[in-house]
Amino acid sequence: VYFTQSTGSGDSVVGISVDGGEAKLLVKEANNPFPSPDGKTLYFTLKKKFLLATLDLTDATAKVQELEKLISTHESQVSTSGVVGFYKTGGSGRGSNTAQAMMYIPSTGEIVEVSPADGTAHCFWNYDGSALYCNNAGGGSGGILSFSISEDFSVGESSVAIPFPKFTDLESVDPQFDKDCINTAVFYGSFCDENQVMLTAGCYTKNMVDGEREQEFTQTMILDIDSGEYLPLGKNIVEAYGAPGGTTWEGSCVL
């Protein structure tokens, strides 16, 4: 298991065996680790440079390899076919509206632009790696876009695959979502199977912070894409974070 460990000295990428034992520090000043499907390569972001980098997990003496062309990259995820999806930022401020979905193809070293630089961020792959899903709040689409990816890695037309939920959809899962909300959004996805996806649902207020609306409440939940129904993950997860009503962020399902 690979994860980001945050301490007073910053973020580090850490690994630990599922059989137990001591956690092992792998890379300092790095976050968002994601392994390749074969378990041989670990991708992550170097925080000082926002540079995508790799580590060979089969070689105990391996050094971090920086992918110099991939600067300002965030939240890399690897598809079942080994293609790295991420988003790139070119502006400033919290959640820049210039975010752009990208792909890196390790077998060829090719970098592919998936979307225009219009606020397309927080990308994740569907269950079989045939489409990249990205939040498009900055682009004004009103939902999470999906971009079909062919076997030769060409990008198809985008469509709104997951519209942002209505207040009533989220209130039925948790009444906290009626708190001063003026709009909602979903992001940080992870497919559990072909039809169910774990998402973070957010509630935004009229208050502005750094030019963007304040995010007052978030919670991870499951969306059944066929029915459109949102399903709670249980109070035990929410209450574990200690805040009144609870706040949860990113999660992953088993692929």
In this predicted model, what pLDDT tens digit does every residue of 61-87 receive, in sequence order? Answer: 999 999 999 989 999 999 999 999 999
Structure-block tokens of residue 7? 């301490």
Residues 115 and 147: beta-carbon distance below 8 Å: yes
**Cα 180-188-165 angle, rounded to 5 deg:** 45
Quick count: other Cβ atoms within 10 Å of Cβ 127?
A: 18
| CA trace torsion 119, 124, 126, 128 (10° rounding) | 130
Integer distance in angstroms from the first to the last C-alpha of the chain? 14
Local structure of 123: helix, strand or coil: strand
Give the pLDDT of residue 77: 94
* 3-state secondary structure (DSSP) of residue 78: strand
Please give the pLDDT value at position 252: 82
What parts of the chain have a pLDDT lower than 50?
92-94, 242
The CA-atom distances, in angstroms, between 79 and each of 118, 126, 127, 128, 154 are 23, 8, 8, 8, 15
Burial category of 166 from C-beta neighbours within 10 Å (exposed 0-12, middle 13-18, buried 19 and up): exposed
Query: Contact 117/90 with Cβ under 8 angstroms?
Result: yes
pLDDT in the model for residue 93: 46
Q: Round to whole Å and give the CA distance between 166 and 34.
A: 32
**Residues paired with residue 74 on neighbouring β-strands, in sequence order:** 87
